[in-house]
Amino acid sequence: MRFLNSNRNVVYLLTGIYFLMLFTEVIAEVLIHLPLIIFTRIATPLLLILIYTVNSERKNPLFFFILIILLLSNILFFYKTAPLFYLGIIAFIIQRIIMVVFIFKLLLTKNYQIFVLSTIPFLIIFLYLILITGEISMIEFSILVIQSLLISLLGGLAVSSYIQIDNRANSWLLISTLLFIGLRFVLFIEKYYLSIISLSVISPMAVILNFFAFFAFYKFVIAAEQNEKTDLYFPT
């Protein structure tokens, strides 16, 4: 019991530091303080790794892999030069693919028909936004289509699982996915529809959405692992 309380206190402490990083990065983005921005982008995934390590009994390697790729993409996206930026995009796409596979493995109930029907609306909306966008290169178009497909799959998984079973894990998954979708909209609109003047508002907004999205994703993973444990000992 004392060990459990100790673990819980460590999780609370690390979670507090995690949200302190959120406040720090928002301030850094507003002030355009580059050293502080890169520090928080490195610290955030590492903190989530620590929180998950302390709080999880399973310690799933895929979750660690997702956060390590997040750390890598955060560093690559920080540098705006073409080779590193495109490597960041590749890392981001790999991370999203692994995330879709990981979520699919964690879900206890899978109905492919509901999943497909839930995915289609997201895909239509994102493809429509791409098609009405002005002139973009073929490379950009291909990247946008792949990213839209992956975020639509995430949306489909979240909505379909929530429709079938309204439990704590699926609620966290839905919250996380909606935040990721909101982040996708914000970044898309900022890049293709808004001027540089809006960056003072868009960048902090993107930081907040990203922080809460990954924290909600972590909460989903913990809740899903607890569901698996319950299902193992008390099968239906």
Q: What is the pLDDT of residues 104-149, one digit of tens each?
A: 999 877 888 999 999 999 999 999 988 888 778 888 889 999 999 9
Helix (H, G, I), strand (E, B) or coil at 55: helix
Over residues 153-166, the mean pLDDT reads: 93
Residue 2, CA atoms < 13 Å, CB-side half-sphere: 0
Residue with tokens 């399973």: 58
- DSSP at 140: H
**Which tokens in the block code for residue 133?**
């966008």
pLDDT averaged over the chain? 88
For the stretch 23-67, pLDDT in tens is 999 999 888 889 999 999 999 999 999 999 999 988 999 999 999
Query: Is the distance from CB of 153 to CB of 100 less than 8 angstroms?
Result: yes
- Kindly report the backbone phi and psi dihedral angles of residue 116, in degrees, each rounded to the nearest multiple of 5, phi listed first: -65, -45
More confident residue, 94 or 199: 94
- Kindly report the backbone phi and psi dihedral angles of residue 181, in degrees, each rounded to the nearest multiple of 5, phi listed first: -65, -40
Q: What is the pTM of this model?
A: 0.90
